[in-house]
A and B are shown apart, each in its own frame.
Chain A
């Protein structure tokens, strides 16, 4: 029987009066790449934080491979096999690239030599081997994102959550990132990606979930979702109407 990798059910989170995530449900199949899209402030990153245990949901559940993970702390979620990158990269700045990734690898192996070779493998995978001895804070933006991916990979995740890994990359770098994600998918990793860049989403995603104002407004395969009038409205139209709504709420 094919189990679902990640099941998000009726997830809600309020910040004060703001409904950041409002009754959102979606399912990620094993080894599928799912893109979570939506305009700024739609609740994508909040959804990530809820899944990874950085926030406690007000209601709803998150289940990974049959384990309920909502309510767990982030390190416990990571231990179960979920890893993430951050929208604004958070490398351990004062540590070298190798030490950063070793820190992730230590989750599965406490022995430094073995953790080091596991880390080197992950660094090689993202193409950062030449920078191994650099301090993380001296890396360029794309290399910091690569580093975060390597650090996340070193924890041997079954599900990887990527938060806007392509923002600010040039077209050539985007192609590189896309092929990296494809490579990950081939390894059997289930990927959930938050992204704005439609070209990249169309290239990697098998399934798309669209959020707007914290609610799910559409889901489906990419070719259908981009034609959905609700989605077009959320992205292009009625910004004036939305602004007015916010003022009146």
Chain B
């Protein structure tokens, strides 16, 4: 925003540099592998959430089918690795590309529908994909899935003996997704996304090719989500249709963004931090005592956020900031 003065731009830059340095040295300070695992999970879902946010947040096209791209990314790199010996580093981009291609027919079908009908159709397409991978045993191991052969320390095959390198990989993914989002947010496309999310007719009348903009952002969002699929499979050394196309991935991608603030750069990151730490802490506190209590508390927190802060945490902070700067302007 142009209201920011030089001082605050400078302090913002310092904040980003500091944040970057902290994120880079963080795994070196953390000795507990449990904590590192939670961190990796946070970064992964912040990444998926950021990818989802481009379509679901900025353009308000609430997809609950992003597991489709996650799964396609995961399967593409795994098939390439196991059957053709292709490194997952290449397979990852191939997976993103396949996800991107899949978004074309999926968008062609689903964008005909609006609002909740669009959402339902995305769920259905992701489910159909899962069923395809469940039923066709020959090319993708069917329901029992497969483990990724453990090569020990093989950085070229995206396999590491410790968790730390995985941390850096997913940190890099999140960083690039944030850079892409920040760039889109400032460019014409960012304005177009928000505009069509607000009112498609008015957007068309203002010269926006709504279908094309939607299709393109869906492609970018799907590509990034596909990368996440490859990473996750490499990280857990296992793939089957139920994990790769799990509905929870779609839900989580949307939830972290909604809780953190849809259509904001940092929303999905903040949302994931809140939700993942809460769920991990609740799990370790209550996990053994009363079955299901941690999920109940988790759901209550979710309901509270959605009821009282429907614009999400970042949205709420922005409102406060805007109110204060408006009040200052009025003085």
| A contacts, CB < 8 Å to B | 52, 54, 73-75, 78-79, 83-84, 86, 90-95, 99-100, 102-104, 106-107, 110, 112, 115, 133, 148, 151-152, 155
Contact = CB atoms under 8 A, between A and B. Distances in A.
Given A106-B192, A112-B187, 18 more contacts: A52-B205, A75-B204, A83-B205, A86-B202, A86-B205, A90-B199, A90-B201, A92-B199, A92-B203, A95-B194, A99-B191, A99-B194, A104-B207, A106-B191, A107-B207, A110-B187, A133-B326, A151-B206
A90 B210 contact: no
Q: Which interface residue of A73, A94, A103, A106 has the most chain B CB atoms within 10 A?
A: A103
Interface in B272-331: 326, 329
A155 B202 CA distance: 12
A213 B195 CA distance: 35
Q: Which interface residue of B186, B187, B202 has the most chain A CB atoms within 10 A?
A: B202
B178 interface: no
A148 B195 CA distance: 13
Given A99-B191, A103-B191, A112-B186, A155 B207 contact: yes
Contact of B191 (A73, A74, A79, A102): A102
4 A-B pairs with the lowest CB-CB distances in the bound complex, closest first: A107-B207, A90-B202, A78-B207, A92-B198
Interface string B185-224: 0111001101100110111111111100000000000000
Contacts, number: 83
Contacts of A152: 205-206
Contact of A95 (B195, B201, B205, B326): B195
B273 to A, nearest CB: 25
B204 A74 contact: yes
Nearest to A80: B207
Contacts of B206: 75, 78, 83, 103-104, 107, 151-152, 155
Given A106-B188, A133-B326, A92 B202 contact: yes
A79 B194 contact: no
A158 B207 CA distance: 14
B101 to A, nearest CB: 25
A111 to B, nearest CB: 8
A118 to B, nearest CB: 13
Contacts of B210: 75
A115 B202 contact: no
Contact of A79 (B186, B192, B199, B207): B207
A3 to B, nearest CB: 23
Nearest to B194: A95
Contacts of B202: 86, 90-92, 148, 151
Nearest to B199: A90
Contacts of B209: 73, 75
A78 B188 contact: no
Q: Which interface residue of A133, A148, A151, A155 has the most chain B CB atoms within 10 A?
A: A133
A69 to B, nearest CB: 14
B322 to A, nearest CB: 8
Contact of B195 (A83, A103, A110, A112): A103
Nearest to A92: B198
A13 to B, nearest CB: 17
A75 B192 CA distance: 12
A99 B194 CA distance: 10
A115 B199 CA distance: 20
Contacts of A100: 195
A148 B202 CA distance: 9
B72 to A, nearest CB: 31
